[in-house]
Amino acid sequence: MNIFKLAGLLLFSILILPYSVSSISNESSLYNNTAINNTTMLHSGIAVSSSGNDSNVMDEQDCLVLANQNLDRSLNLLNSILNSIMLLLALISILVVVLSGAATYVLNDFRKKFKEARTEAQKSINDATESSKSLDKILFSAKERYEKETADIGIISMEKTPSKDVLQKVKEFDSSAETANVLDTFGIKLNFDDYLNFASSNYYKGNYKRALEFSNRALEIDPASPLGWIYKGASLDEMGKYGEAIKAYEKALEIDPKNADTWSNKGVSLNNLGKYEDAMKAYEKALEIDPENADTWYNKGVSLDEMGKYEDAIKAYEKAIEIYPYYAEAWSNKGVSLDNMGKYEGAIKAYEKAIEIDPDDADVWSNKGLSLTNLGKYEDSIKAYEKAIKIDPDCAGAWFNNACIFSLTGQTENAIKFLKRSIELDISFKEKAQTDEDFDNIKDEPEFRKLVYDE
């Protein structure tokens, strides 16, 4: 039978139950009243006779018949009610059984599905375990190969002017760097040297933020390593965070106060902050420890240049060149100091020496062009500027210096064109153009005034 039909019958039985009970009560009352009335009539002296002639006389048999009829009707109804109650109880029993069966079915179905899900989950776990074991083998093999490939590289130094040997090490390391990246991604810890080499590799590529990140990773492994702090300081300095760089160098000096490179690097950051006197003290400390450090002599020359002490700067650059004759930057800066002293021929010779060592430095070509301009050799200077722009189209100094030549030679259109480009690349040339005498020939031109003075 449909469960909903059973529920309907149950509800109907429940609804008629109060009515049935009420009927029993009424019939019982009627029976009792009939019996009482009969007894009253007998005791009150009303004649109960077999004759039917007197209206006040009721035959005793009639009274008994009436009472029996009431009793029969009550008993019949009681029987019906009892049957209804039995039916109700039966329906309740059936409904309980049905509901119990439904619950059992649902429970059994749930157990079945749970068992299937558990089996599937266990299978997935087993598959994952096998995959993990396979991955572990692959990663272990990759790490062995990586360690073998990089065993002879050692720690790659982080220098302003890296030697060919250093750059070769960077190249060798980079060939295995991808493997190291994969290992690192899967949580295979690299060692201290690996993170420093990652820092150096990124430093030489100009990725200073990444260099800083790897320096910090190295320091997590060994915070007591001065080298880790030096690499961190060098990365921060290139990011323009000179104050933080100085703190990193000072931390390195707490660990190793006899490291000349650290003192020299601290001097560079102080110089970048404009603290030239403090920078000089740091360089002197570095030279006390290592007087043959070409980088320190070069850095000292830069600070002396900034202080306007050109002769002393030239001596510092020459000392750096004496230690390392192929120091292109030292040759170039010597040329700048000579130019500042008005020694243009000497400056050009210094620039040409720098170009022999590194012919692809746009700034050196631009500086050579400036000295040629100062000698009045405009055609040669234009060639030098064009070479600089060819090497580096974004060399703002070359565009500006070329604009100066065009102004001096009366080529107004080219002068404004090149000046505009230099300002686009470096806004500081806008202010410089306002005071540079080379633009006196075109300073009243509307386009010049609009470009330089926003008129």
Highest mean pLDDT among 54-68, 155-169, 309-323: 309-323
Highest mean pLDDT among 20-24, 93-97, 143-147, 289-293: 289-293
Tell me the per-residue pLDDT of 140-174, one tens digit each, with 9 for 90 and over: 666 666 666 666 778 888 887 777 888 888 887 77
Predicted local distance difference test score (pLDDT) of residue 88: 58
Q: How confident is the model at residue 45 (pLDDT cuts 50, 70, 90)?
A: very low
| Entry pTM | 0.65
What is the share, in percent, of the chain residues with pLDDT greater than 70? 65
Q: What's the whole-number mean pLDDT along residues 393-404?
A: 95
Predicted local distance difference test score (pLDDT) of residue 5: 52
**Residue, of 59 and 203, whose pLDDT is higher:** 203
For residue 181, pLDDT over 90 is answered with no
For residue 403, pLDDT over 50 is answered with yes
Asked whether 423 and 439 are in contact (CB, 8 A), the reply is: no
Q: What's the whole-number mean pLDDT along residues 334-360?
A: 97
Give the whole-angstrom CA distance, residue 244 versus residue 80: 101
For residue 249, pLDDT over 90 is answered with yes
Q: What's the whole-number mean pLDDT along residues 303-325?
A: 97
Q: How confident is the model at residue 374 (pLDDT cuts 50, 70, 90)?
A: very high
**Residue, of 113 and 189, whose pLDDT is higher:** 189
Q: What's the whole-number mean pLDDT along residues 167-195?
A: 76
Asked whether 448 and 425 are in contact (CB, 8 A), the reply is: no
Q: What's the whole-number mean pLDDT along residues 109-124?
A: 61
The kind and range of the H/E element at 1 are none
Predicted local distance difference test score (pLDDT) of residue 172: 79
Predicted local distance difference test score (pLDDT) of residue 137: 64
Q: What's the whole-number mean pLDDT along residues 129-133?
A: 55
DSSP line for 198-265? HHHHHHHTT-HHHHHHHHHHHHHH-TT-HHHHHHHHHHHHHTT-HHHHHHHHHHHHHH-TT-HHHHHH
Q: What's the whole-number mean pLDDT along residues 115-141?
A: 60
For residue 418, pLDDT over 70 is answered with yes
Predicted local distance difference test score (pLDDT) of residue 273: 97
Q: What's the whole-number mean pLDDT along residues 173-188?
A: 69
For residue 67, pLDDT over 50 is answered with no
Q: What's the whole-number mean pLDDT along residues 200-207?
A: 91
Instruction: Please state which CATH class domain 380-455 belongs to.
Output: mainly alpha
**Residue, of 300 and 12, whose pLDDT is higher:** 300
**Residue, of 72 and 195, whose pLDDT is higher:** 195
Tell me the per-residue pLDDT of 213-244, one tens digit each, with 9 for 90 and over: 999 999 999 999 999 999 999 999 999 999 99
For residue 282, pLDDT over 80 is answered with yes
Predicted local distance difference test score (pLDDT) of residue 431: 94
Number of helical H runs and strand E runs in the chain: 19, 0
Residue 61 CB: number of other CB atoms within 10 A? 10
For residue 112, pLDDT over 70 is answered with no
Tell me the two tokens of residue 306.
Answer: 């900034």
For residue 370, pLDDT over 50 is answered with yes
Asked whether 70 and 31 are in contact (CB, 8 A), the reply is: yes
For residue 117, pLDDT over 80 is answered with no
Q: How confident is the model at residue 53 (pLDDT cuts 50, 70, 90)?
A: very low
Asked whether 270 and 300 are in contact (CB, 8 A), the reply is: no
What lies within 8 Å, CB to CB, of 333 at 6+ separation is 298, 301, 302, 305, 313, 317
Q: What's the whole-number mean pLDDT along residues 438-454?
A: 93
Residue 418 CB: number of other CB atoms within 10 A? 23
Helix or strand or coil: residue 38?
helix
Q: How confident is the model at residue 424 (pLDDT cuts 50, 70, 90)?
A: very high
For residue 331, pLDDT over 50 is answered with yes
- Residue 59 backbone phi and psi in degrees, to 5: -65, 135
From 6-10, 98-102, 110-114, 285-289, the region with the lowest mean pLDDT: 6-10
Q: How confident is the model at residue 46 (pLDDT cuts 50, 70, 90)?
A: very low
Q: What's the whole-number mean pLDDT along residues 285-303?
A: 97
DSSP line for 384-434? HHHHHHHH-TT-HHHHHHHHHHHHHTT-HHHHHHHHHHHHHH-THHHHHHH
Burial (CB < 10 A; 0-12, 13-18, 19+), residue 159, is middle
Give the whole-angstrom CA distance, residue 319 versus residue 407: 39
Residue ranges per domain, the chain?
A: 3-50+57-103, 380-455
Of 181, 191, 180, the residue nearest 146 (C-alpha): 180
